[in-house]
Amino acid sequence: MNATRQDAWTKDEDILLAETVLRHIREGKTQLEAFKDVAKQLSRTSAACGFRWNASIRGQYQEAIESAKKDRKQNNRQKMLVQYDTTVNGESDPIDAAISLLEKMRNHSNGNKQLYGSEDVGAQQQLIEENEALKAQLNRYEQAWTEMGKLWAWVQRK
């Protein structure tokens, strides 16, 4: 494994970072995933990539970010339309499409992965686990804060 770099960012590296983040946004992936991808390519840490993006580059690409978000939204709409389109004798039947949509939604709520791909379910599970870990961390911080308050009160009494 290469050692992580700490030298100055080049214009080419900035462009690679921006293009990767914008592609991830367009594809509905997270910026954190983009930072990890760029970090591997540039032998930098994902934290360094995230910092560079937020501190220096993001402001230059606001229009491109909005465009990427619109592209993602449009692609999602097209996928949904294709996914729920049903035809009868070559013609679209809105009642059949509605029934199909409702059946797929029912199946999904019963744990079936027809509505979303298994990748989305895995990502959802990962978010649930991350959320639980963050809740536990927050609980520890709250307990530490309470203890600090008790110590502060004790110090003031002395």
Each residue's pLDDT tens digit, 122-147 = 778 888 888 888 888 888 888 989 88
Please tell me what DSSP assigns to residue 113. -
99's enclosing H/E stretch is helix 94-109
Residues 86 and 71: beta-carbon distance below 8 Å? no
Residues 36-61: tens digit of each pLDDT: 999 999 999 999 999 999 999 999 99
pTM of the model: 0.49
How far, in Å, CA of 74 to CA of 20, rounded? 19
Query: How far is 7 from 17, CA to CA, in rounded Å?
Result: 16
- Which pairs from 12-15 meet CB under 8 Å and 24+ separation? 13/42, 14/52, 14/56, 14/57
